[in-house]
Amino acid sequence: PRAPPPPCPGAAVSQVTVRDALNQALDEELERDERVFLLGEEVAQYDGAYKVGGGRARAGSGARAGPDCLCPAPQISRGLWKKYGDKRVIDTPISEMGFAGIAVGAAMAGLRPVCEFMTFNFSMQAIDQVINSAAKTCYMSAGSIAVPIVFRGPNGASAGVAAQHSQCFAAWYGHCPGLKVVSPWSSEDAKGLLKASIRDDNPVVMLENELLYGVPFEVSEQAQSKDFIVPIGKAKIERQGTHVTLVSHSRPVGHCLEAAAVLAKEGVECEVVNLRTIRPMDIETVEASVVKTNHLVTVEGGWPQFGVGAEICARIMEGPAFNYLDAPAVRVTGADVPMPYAKILEDNCIPQVKDIIFAVKKTLNI
């Protein structure tokens, strides 16, 4: 995990891990609205698989602990069961289709469930509930039935968990109308987007990153307020630049900032855009940056074909910013293979800082 950027001068800040930011958001929203409740595997008595609120890797999952996943596992719903009780924080059996269906039905009935998948790879067990039940019901009922639900959990590659536990679902869920899809990087992103997602009347898929859970970020005094939210559908400029636009989401945002710091020593100023929301995508912010820098590089951990970067490139080509490009847009993605288990192969399947630097120099022809 990469070091977070320095805080703005004069701002009152403190260090908060992504795990603690998510826990704060859940606590504040459970307290604020009695309709909110949590459910998932080991979110209650065990304090959460990732202690956000969820539990250990399931027996037989083949998961191998990474550097941030040592027992006890990262805790996200830590302390919430003791504070709010069995009716608000609910342990479920290992049956994603079952408890996701319960959560969708509860949302249709007027509650506001937060449904945790121990990893989004397991959400494929419940994809009918997420897409056919949650995403489409408001449209199919002519707006008469809202489904205010949040599906959240770790997404993308962790460490040493191989092909069946390492997929990025940003493009999968971003493809589907009826869903909102958010993908936080920093602690501020995580807290603000989770609170906004819980308050939203639409189904929201929140794609977190397990390797970020234990990473501390500077969080401003404003972001620690109970009223703080990050608007869904609004990207953030993490670093100003003039030569090339780097667009990313989730953990690769940190890689982009590190690459930008290296390139700055060579006289190349990168503008780093943290998407934060995959759907609806804030293409206006990306367009404005491309108009300024005249170059575009997208960075993501997912596969290249039909990916988030492919969508960004298509939208830029179809819009007014295309005429400002001085070179073709370049995508940096995960390798187009199932994730290997061996660490050296895994490292070569995930975008690294050196890959971003190479792509920037390629698009700038230097």
Beta-sheet strands, E only, within the chain: 13-17, 36-40, 89-91, 112-116, 150-154, 180-182, 204-208, 216-220, 236-239, 244-248, 270-274, 277-279, 296-299, 330-332
Indicate the DSSP class of residue 135: I
Q: CA-CA distance, 255 to 261, in Å (whole number)?
A: 10
Q: How far apart are CA 230 and CA 157, in angstroms?
A: 25
Is residue 266 annotated as a catalytic residue, yes or no? no
- Cis omega before residue 113 (within 30°)? no
Q: How many whole angstroms from its chain centre is CA 108?
A: 25
Q: Is 249 a catalytic residue?
A: no
**Please, are residues 55 and 42 in contact by the beta-carbon 8 Å criterion?**
yes
- Give the position of tokens 């929140």: 206
Q: Which of 28, 41, 42, 96 is catalytic?
A: 96
- What CA–CA distance (Å, rounded) separates 345 from 319? 38
Rounded-to-integer distance, Cα 286 and Cα 272, Å = 10
Residue 33 backbone phi and psi in degrees, to 5: -135, 115
CA distance 121 to 266: 40
The label of the residue with tokens 């800082």 reads: 353
Distance CA 332, CA 45 (A): 41
Whether the bond into 72 is cis, omega within 30 of 0: yes
In angstroms, the CA 19 to CA 217 distance is: 11
| Structure-block tokens of residue 182 | 């958010």
Rounded to the nearest 10 degrees, the angle between the axes of helix 308-318 and helix 283-293 is 70
Catalytic residue selected from 41, 42, 116, 165: 165
Measured distance CA(18)–CA(2) in Å, rounded: 13
For the annotated catalytic residues, the residue numbers are: 96, 165
